Amino acid sequence: MSIHPIDYRYGTPEMKALWTEEYRLRCLFRIEAALSQAQEELGLIPQGAAKAISEAAEKADPERAKQIEDEIGHDMMAVVLAMAEVCEFGEWIHLGATSNDILDTATGLQFRASMDVLEAKLRTLLEVLLDLAMANRRLVCAGRTHGQMAVPTTYGLKFAIWASEIARHLDRLSEIRPRAAVGKVSGAVGTQAAFGKDGMRIQSRVMQLIGLNEVDVSNQVVQRDRHAELVCWMGLVVSTLDKICVEIRTLQRTEIAEVEEAFGKKQVGSSTMPHKRNPIKAEQVCGLARSVRAQMEPAFANIPLWDERDLTNSSCERVVFPEAFVLTDHLIRLTTRVLQGLSIRHDNVERNLTMLKGLNMAEAVMVELAKRGAGRQQAHEIMRSASMKAFAEKRELLDVLLVEEGVKDYLSEKELRDLLDPHHYIGTAVEQVERLDRKLRPRLM
């Protein structure tokens, strides 16, 4: 049976496929074929060798490469030998290259394909968030700071803030792409000595053939700051998803109950408490986000290798990259599903908005008192005193203000009622959402 939950519980087929051993071996075969083509074009290997090696790349069996690795204990040499077994020009495979010319360039191919998957799903998530923002841009709700009721906000603004953050992650991804999806053909320590004067031309041509950017310089490996940046980006993405789902979990608490995850007709919330409707998908996002962020430390630790390279990065990257990409992809999809199925309970939104008997509108009255001539500091003290009294006596703030000295001289009862209406105190929230939609919506076309 499987050991790692990625094998049987988490992840999407399209992302998992990019991190299978077979897919990686196919990438290695492909790069060896590209190398032979570049070398033949420059007259470094016999005519006809590149075609034969390319055909071998198609025919070579990944399982055979694994068998050979078990015998000789070297993964890259096993790839070369597996190809050579089915190629009449096998002696020309891998000429002048070092293992990490092929291995690191294969990682670049996996990065590129994986980033394509993540970008498409982030764009879908962005669209869902923009739709929710626009649909709820006038839905006034209680704002909260420090876990306490603050002045009103809107659900549209909540969704818009998340949408803006996702858009920044897409911007970051476009910036990272040319730095992360790279390859190199630089030989044993980076000098390209085995390729002679044609080294730089070979590298450029190989990368052209497989569609990757080439590094400017390297030693035996592509420098790991590139890889760490990409893993760090995934840590940022899942932290935004974590943030979204923490908010959903908070708002689904029984005593708040403003939103709720979709709950299936036959879904079971608890093995012992039949009434439970737990936010398990949002909780899964928050939990697995920790696992993705945990990959950042080894990714950063892989940057300072000994001299022209050592092997300490290799083993942990076999864990870091698949886990980070598969789980990030899984969490983007899961968060999108949570949001698509999210229910907003308008009755509870309104209940919570007014539950403080006007106390959450003290700022609005304070600002108007200051404008009318009471002065900002005096207005603050008037409203602080009135708010504490209303809270202690469990009274409506309006009732306290109607008899409060320093208030009735400036504001009538009708004016106070208007000021204490939370639906009238959302500033430019609607306009901000609409402006963001105008800015980001075209990116989805």
Examine the domain organization and report whether 135 and 103 are in the same domain: yes
The DSSP bridge partners found for residue 213 are 182
The total of other beta-carbon atoms located within 10 Å of residue 212's CB is 21
- Which of 95, 119, 147 lies at the terminal end of a domain, its last residue? 95
> What's the number of CA atoms in the CB half-sphere (13 Å) around residue 175?
8
Do residues 363 and 346 both lie within one domain?
no
Identify whether residues 304 and 190 lie together within a single domain.
Answer: yes
- Which residues have C-beta within 8 Å of that of residue 41, sequence separation ≥ 6? 50, 205
Give the domain extent around 33: 1-95
Tokens representing residue 203 in the block: 């590298």
Count the domains in the chain: 3
Task: State whether 177 and 57 are in the same domain.
Answer: no
Residues 246 and 118 reside in one and the same domain: yes
Q: Do 440 and 367 fall into the same domain?
A: no
Per-residue confidence of the chain (445 residues) as pLDDT tens digits?
Answer: 889 999 999 999 999 999 999 999 999 999 999 999 999 999 999 999 999 999 999 999 999 999 999 999 999 999 999 999 999 999 999 999 999 999 999 999 999 999 999 999 999 999 999 999 999 999 999 999 999 999 999 999 999 999 999 999 999 999 999 999 999 999 999 999 999 999 999 999 999 999 999 999 999 999 999 999 999 999 999 999 999 999 999 999 999 999 999 876 777 676 667 776 888 899 999 999 999 999 999 999 999 999 999 999 999 999 999 999 999 999 999 999 999 999 999 999 999 999 999 999 999 999 999 998 888 999 899 889 989 999 999 999 999 999 887 898 899 999 999 999 999 999 999 999 999 999 999 999 8
CA distances in angstroms from 386 to 29, 146, 284, listed in the order given = 76, 22, 44
Pair (190, 111) in one structural domain: yes
pLDDT at position 143, please?
A: 96
Give the CATH number, domain containing residue 6: 1.10.275.10
153-159 — which CB contacts under 8 Å span 24+ positions?
153/426, 153/429, 154/426, 154/429, 154/430, 154/433, 155/344, 155/349, 156/132, 156/429, 156/430, 156/433, 157/133, 157/429, 157/432, 157/433, 158/247, 159/129, 159/130, 159/132, 159/133, 159/433
- The per-residue pLDDT for 394 is 93
The first and second tokens of residue 3, run together, are 């050991």
Quick one: pLDDT at residue 262?
81
Gap between the Cα atoms of 104 and 68, Å rounded: 21
> Same domain for 280 and 338?
yes
In angstroms, rounded to a whole number, what is the distance separating the alpha carbons of residues 315 and 158?
42
Last residue of a domain, one of 40, 72, 95: 95
How many other C-beta atoms lie within 10 A of the C-beta of residue 172? Answer: 15
DSSP letters along 364-417, please?
HHHHHHIIIII-HHHHHHHHHHHHHHHHHHT--HHHHHHT-TTTTTT--HHHHH
State the CATH number of the domain containing residue 384. 1.10.40.30
Domain shared by 34 and 45, yes or no: yes
426 vs 429: CA distance, rounded Å: 6
Same-domain status, 67 and 192 = no
Closest CA to 324 of 280, 287, 283, 289: 289
CATH code, domain carrying 256:
1.20.200.10
Residue 215 per-residue DSSP state: P
> Which residues, other chains included, contact 276 with Cβ-Cβ below 8 Å and sequence gap of 6+?
269, 270
Tokens of 314: 């290799």
Sorted by sequence, the CB contacts under 8 Å of residue 237 that are 6+ apart come out as: 118, 122, 169, 328, 332
Query: Which residues fall within 8 angstroms of residue 120, CB to CB, at 6 or more apart?
Result: none
Question: Which among 30, 23, 79 is positioned nearest to 58, based on CA atoms?
Answer: 30
What are the C-alpha distances in Å from 178 to residues 17, 24, 214, 247, 352?
Answer: 23, 20, 9, 34, 48
- Output the DSSP codes for 27-66: HHHHHHHHHHHHHHHTTSS-TTHHHHHHHHHHH--HHHHH
Which tokens belong to 316?
């942990």
**pLDDT at site 276:** 66
CB–CB of 397/361 below 8 Å?
yes
175 and 280 in a single domain? The answer is yes
List the beta bridge partners of residue 260: 343
Tell whether 131 and 269 lie within a shared domain: yes
- Predicted TM-score of the model (pTM): 0.94
Q: What's the burial of 311, exposed, middle or buried (CB within 10 Å: 0-12/13-18/19+)?
A: exposed
pLDDT tens per residue across span 93-119: 999 999 999 999 999 999 999 999 999
Closest CA to 183 of 136, 216, 142: 216
Could you tell me if 187 and 101 are in contact, meaning their C-beta atoms sit under 8 angstroms apart? yes
pLDDT at 360: 94
pLDDT at 277 (0 to 100): 80
Report, as residue numbers or ranges, the catalytic residues. 146, 270
Domain final residue, candidates 75, 95, 115: 95
Condensed to tens digits (0 to 9), the pLDDT of residues 361-374 reads: 999 999 999 998 88
